[in-house]
Structure 1
Amino acid sequence: MRITILGSAAGGGFPQWNCNCRNCAGLRAGTLRAKARTQSSIFIQPDAGGDGLLLNASPDVLQQIKATPALQPGRALRDSAIAAVLLIDGQIDHATGLFMLRERTGPLPLWCTDAVAQDLSEGNPILRVLTHYCGVDRHRIRPDGSTFEIPGLAPLQFRAIALSSKAAPYSPHRDAPEPGDNIGLSVTDPRSGRTLFYAPGLGEIDAAVFDAMHQADAVMVDGTFWTDDEMQRLGLSRKTARDIGHLAQSGPGGMIEWLGQLPATTRRLLIHINNTNPILDEDSPERAALTQAGITVCEDGMTLEL
């Protein structure tokens, strides 16, 4: 299977439109060696050149389609290589791009958990709005680790597990978490026997999550913040990374420490990187620490073959 990184930034992208932190200001001024990024989303194809699955529909999806010719193969008057969309949560940066897909010629095949469907029917009623356009053919994901398939994407096999993170602020269960508010997804190609574990929003690594990471050949996980108090120290928020459902990379029990326990052959990648994270600076000591640990920072347009 082929995995294309359409967007690798957290909500707001990089640079963020209203932010003048060191990273955003430096990128605009050309004084920081870094790359601009759109909001996080990936595209998985069983085979290069064929239809695939859009994982998360970013608000930047039209820009991402324009930048990725594989998503618009031009086989008919109206065409798309997006066979289906799968949402790992109901957050704005992962779901509002669905509005941009409303011109589809038939109901949009959408895979999500019951918790996410509720978020997008009540708190932010995207699914109800889309009934006035293309409509939605919604399929239920059970976050229990059971295997499922998606029509048109054979032979890929999928498994979802519930994560400890945060539902969207408008979710009916923002402060009363439910299994499926946020999921991690394992995608296996039985032809190669290789697996990707994808979890761009991850607040805690429990035994089930670490087992899924350990079994994967590539893990693409939460790279939002470098430190737990990153936003507090910059005066941008009173909340820690954990408060909003993200596990920081550095420090005891951080993402770097967890990734270091995986087999040496596992490919380790960080996605959903906040505009404040110093790892965006390619000359920073934080980026050097990741390189030393064998961890890759995702960039828009990057591809993987598994």
Structure 2
Amino acid sequence: MKIRVLGSAAGGGFPQWNCNCHNCHRIRRNEMNGKPRTQSSIAVSTDDRNWLLFNTSPDILTQLHAFPAIQPREGVRDTGIKAILLIDSQIDHTTGLLMLRESRQPLDIYCSDMVKQDLSTGFPTFKMLEDYCTVNHHPVPLDGSSFTIPSIEDLKFYTQSLKSKAPPYSPHRNDPHDGDNIGVIIEQISTGKKVFYAPGLGEIEPHVMDAMQLADCVMVDGTFWTDDEMVTQNISHKRAREIGHLPQSGPGGMIEVLNSLPNTRRILIHINNTNPILDEDSEQRKTLDAAGIEVSYDGMEIDL
């Protein structure tokens, strides 16, 4: 199984276009040891030709241009993207669908019924695409059962509901439902190798911990270092946990959780522009390095 990190940042990317925080200010001026990042998405394949895309960020065109294996190979119009799996209906994970409207085939999109509802109402992307390539929606099960995806050979998937909020534009923003946000277990059938992918994690529920313990690799929420990160930098009055992200530091934080998985490859993804771990010389980054916890970057490839 090969996983390509197309984008590793949280919404807005890094640097964010209108942000002058400590990180964004320095990266623009080449004053920090770090890498710019686009908004989070990964692609998975077992044959380097047929790819399942997880999320479609607003940066999708830039990400695809930087990834030769997924680019056209045959005919006048072609793509290595065989299907798309959406984790949620957030703008930074779905806007890229509009950039794929030139597809010659309907987009095969796997997502929960709640995500489909959001993308048909509050942010009616599916309806907009009806006048272009159209969409084939495939619901994903939330009961722990597995499913496969045609053309994505030797892989099966399990999706599980995570505690989270629907996007601000959702008709049920303040009425959470199962399927607003999901985690995905990706299993290679021939080898039994497993990856757990959850770029948005607000709480480590028992079924989440079970999935992480069974995985050979976890790619999980790396959005914030501290719960009050946005508050102390005068960017927002909201804390990390309020908006559905478990911070890395502190009691019960992501580092503590990941340190309980010493034999698992542990990778943080969906990293906010304010997070000090983006500075590769920071004390926070050294803490992760000492724990053997990796920080994803655009173009990173994982082979299992």
Query: TM-score normalised by the shorter chain: which range applies?
Result: over 0.9
1:221 partner SS: strand
Cα distance in 1 for partners of 2:15, 2:239 equals: 21
Match of 2:30? Answer: 30
Question: Per-residue CA shift, 1:198-253, capped at 9, x if unaligned?
Answer: 00011000100000010000000000000000001111111100111100000000
Unaligned runs of 5+ in 1: none
User: Match of 1:250, as an amino acid?
Assistant: S
Match of 2:224? Answer: 225
Question: Per-residue CA shift, 1:97-138, capped at 9, x if unaligned?
Answer: 000000000111000000100111111000000001000011
Moved over 4 A (4+): none
User: Match of 2:8, as an amino acid?
Assistant: S
Match of 1:257? Answer: 256
Cα distance in 1 for partners of 2:18, 2:231 equals: 18
Match of 2:155? Answer: 156
Cα distance in 1 for partners of 2:156, 2:194 equals: 9
User: Match of 1:60, as an amino acid?
Assistant: D
Match of 2:280? Answer: 282
Match of 1:90? Answer: 89
Deviation at 1:167, TM superposition (A): 1.2
Cα distance in 2 for partners of 1:151, 1:71 equals: 17
Match of 1:273? Answer: 271
Deviation at 1:46, TM superposition (A): 1.7
1:84 partner SS: strand
User: Match of 2:131, as an amino acid?
Assistant: H
Cα distance in 1 for partners of 2:164, 2:202 equals: 5
State the Cα RMSD in Å.
0.7
User: Match of 1:171, as an amino acid?
Assistant: S
Cα distance in 2 for partners of 1:94, 1:46 equals: 23
Cα distance in 1 for partners of 2:129, 2:241 equals: 33
2:272 partner SS: coil
Q: Does 1:44 align with 2:77?
A: no
Between Structure 1 and Structure 2, how many residues are aligned? 304
Q: Does 1:295 align with 2:293?
A: yes
- TM-score, with normalisation over the residues of structure 2? 0.99
Cα distance in 2 for partners of 1:189, 1:298 equals: 21
Match of 1:118? Answer: 117
2:212 partner SS: helix
Cα distance in 2 for partners of 1:175, 1:207 equals: 24
Match of 2:4? Answer: 4
Cα distance in 1 for partners of 2:257, 2:72 equals: 39
> Which residues of 2 match residues 101-140 of structure 1 at below 5 A?
101-140=100-139
User: Match of 1:21, as an amino acid?
Assistant: C
Cα distance in 1 for partners of 2:70, 2:221 equals: 25
- 8 Å contact kept, 2:164–2:181: yes
Cα distance in 2 for partners of 1:303, 1:73 equals: 20
Cα distance in 1 for partners of 2:46, 2:111 equals: 20
Deviation at 1:74, TM superposition (A): 2.0
Overall identity of the aligned pairs, in %: 58
Match of 1:197? Answer: 196
Deviation at 1:50, TM superposition (A): 1.4
Deviation at 1:73, TM superposition (A): 3.7
Cα distance in 2 for partners of 1:170, 1:92 equals: 10
Cα distance in 2 for partners of 1:242, 1:162 equals: 17
User: Match of 1:34, as an amino acid?
Assistant: G
Cα distance in 2 for partners of 1:301, 1:228 equals: 28
Deviation at 1:192, TM superposition (A): 1.5
Q: Does 1:210 align with 2:209?
A: yes
Cα distance in 1 for partners of 2:97, 2:112 equals: 16
Unaligned runs of 5+ in 2: none
Cα distance in 1 for partners of 2:142, 2:275 equals: 30
- 8 Å contact kept, 2:49–2:70: no
User: Match of 2:257, as an amino acid?
Assistant: W
Match of 2:239? Answer: 240
